[in-house]
Structures are given as C-alpha cells and as structure tokens.
C-alpha cells in the first residue's frame, strides 16, 4: 500500500510517501509561486527519495494546506487542522496539544488519544506570530531566521514588545536598536511576545500537557523556550521533522481511506 500526503502551505510545500505506515520518501521545498508548481516540485523530490518514477505508482494521495484544492492528481483533500493533529500524533502518540505555526497562520489544536481533533483555535487574519512575522523581524535585525531561532542568541532580559501587528512591531524593533538595546534582549522579547499571543489561544482551547510544535516555526528554539516558560509546561521535541507533520497526517489519512475502500 503506497500512499502520499502533500501539504501546500503559503511559504513551503511538503510531501511524504508512506508504505505500511513507514515513511519511504519526503521533501520540503520553497513555494514555487503557484500551488501546482510547488506540488510538482515537492512530489518529484519525495518520489526520487522513495525510488519512484511516476505519481501513478502511488495508490492514494491526500492534500492539505492552502493549495490543497488545486492538485488534480489527488483523490481527496483535508484541512490543515485535521492533518497536523493526525501527523503530530503519528510522530508522538502521547501528544495532546499541538501548536502549529506556519507561514501565515497559527493554530492550537487539542487532540484525543486517538489523534482526533477535540478543539482548536486559529489566527489567520493577520501575520502576527507567524513565519511572515519572524521573517520581517529578521530583516529588520539583519540576523536571519537562524539568528532569531538560536537559543544562544536569547538575552536574559527580554525587551518589551508591545505591538502584535507586524508593521508596528518591526518599527518598535528598529527603535529599540537605535536606542542601544542589546540584540539578544530584542530577540528574546520577540519570541516572548509571540509565546504570549499563542498562550492566549492555548488557554481558550484548553491546554493539556504533552505539547509539541509543528510547522516551519517549530524549528525556532527560542520560541519553544519562551512557550515553555509562558505555558509552564515542557515542549516536546518530535522524533521526526515537525515541519512535515501536516503532510504525514495527510498520508496517514490516505492510508486509512484506502483501507476503508478495500473493506
């Protein structure tokens, strides 16, 4: 049983190919400007890793993400919320709360022991606290996303960031730089401000211990540390690449749907 999950987000495309509940190929690519081009690119790379030459060899394909409706060779599409919950649970069955921070939205998802979504909260009306937000701040600080993420760059006295809006926060950061504030404290302040915003969403959903990050921002160590502090709980590190969680969930659903058809 060869299945695939494709997650076409605003900034990147992710694909996972599975057989017998095992990942045999995966890939992450930057957005190619159109969902179909992104899907073609990421699927080609995942197939190469899996030793496949044609999409026709894959028995079932499920898509998710913003571009999920554009992929004509897929048999079904599902929401990012369902797929991130399912994928995170596949990576770590003990998880009960998933915080997914992608390119242009942020989601907090409560899942059951079976990996089903119980409740969720989502911010998709502005870029605050998303990958786009961090990219904007990284440009303002001239430190790159790695600079914001690195745990070594987190200052001991986080600067106070009062604005959530990307434009105003960037202006605030520039002011702090001009006032001579230490870079490490500004970086720590940015991560702490996002963590506080996410914590409000988590409280609305009903935070349950065993928490993990998914999405591109899951690789931000500074954010993970800030979230652990604000939420007063450990943030688990997933065994696989947390940025692939949505694609993994889509692939798991593809397998389940294929089995259901056969029964």
* pLDDT tens per residue across span 193-239: 999 989 989 989 988 989 999 988 888 999 999 999 999 999 998 88
Residues near 241 by Cβ (< 8 Å), separated by ≥ 6? 26, 28
High-pLDDT (> 90) share of the chain, %? 68
For residue 49, the model assigns a pLDDT of: 97
For residue 119, the model assigns a pLDDT of: 95
Q: What's the CA angle centered on 254, arms 251 and 257, to 5 degrees?
A: 155
Residue ranges of the domains in the chain?
Answer: 1-92+240-263, 95-237
* pLDDT tens per residue across span 31-77: 998 999 999 999 999 999 999 999 999 999 999 998 999 999 999 99
For residue 33, the model assigns a pLDDT of: 86
Domain 95-237 in the same topology as domain 1-92+240-263: yes
For residue 3, the model assigns a pLDDT of: 98
Q: Are 65 and 8 in contact (CB under 8 A)?
A: yes
170: region left, alpha or beta (phi > 0 left; psi from -120 to 50 alpha)? alpha
Q: What average pLDDT does the segment 3-19 reach? A: 95
Angle between helices 183-205 and 166-178 (to 10 degrees): 150
CA dist list (Å): 131 to 70, 72, 135, 193, 259: 23, 28, 6, 14, 36
Q: Tokens for 126?
A: 């502005």
- What is the third-level CATH fold of 1-92+240-263? Nucleotidyltransferase; domain 5 (3.30.420)
- Please give the CATH number for the structural domain made up of 95-237: 3.30.420.40
């Amino acid at each position: 049983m060869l299945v695939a999950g494709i997650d076409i987000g605003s900034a990147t495309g992710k694909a996972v190919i599975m057989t017998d509940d095992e990942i045999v190929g995966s890939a992450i690519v930057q957005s190619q400007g159109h969902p179909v081009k992104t899907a073609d690119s990421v699927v080609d790379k995942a197939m190469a890793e899996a030793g496949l030459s044609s999409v026709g060899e894959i028995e079932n394909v499920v898509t998710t993400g913003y571009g999920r409706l554009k992929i004509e060779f897929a048999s079904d599409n599902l929401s990012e919320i369902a797929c991130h919950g399912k994928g995170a649970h596949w990576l770590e069955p003990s998880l009960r709360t998933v915080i997914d921070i992608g390119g242009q939205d942020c989601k907090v998802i409560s899942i059951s022991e079976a990996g089903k979504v119980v409740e969720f909260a989502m911010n998709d009306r502005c870029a605050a606290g998303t990958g786009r937000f961090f990219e904007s701040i990284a440009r303002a600080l001239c430190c790159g996303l790695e600079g914001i993420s690195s745990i070594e760059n987190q200052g001991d006295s986080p600067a106070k960031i009062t604005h959530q809006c990307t434009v105003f926060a960037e202006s605030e950061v520039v002011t702090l730089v001009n006032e001579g504030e230490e870079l490490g404290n500004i970086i720590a302040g940015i991560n702490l401000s996002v963590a506080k915003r996410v914590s409000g969403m988590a409280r609305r959903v009903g935070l349950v211990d065993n928490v993990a990050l998914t999405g591109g921002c899951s690789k931000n160590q500074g954010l993970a540390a800030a979230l652990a502090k604000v939420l007063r709980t450990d943030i688990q590190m997933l065994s696989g690449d947390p940025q692939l969680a949505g694609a993994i969930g889509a692939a798991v659903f593809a397998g389940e749907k294929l089995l259901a058809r056969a029964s």
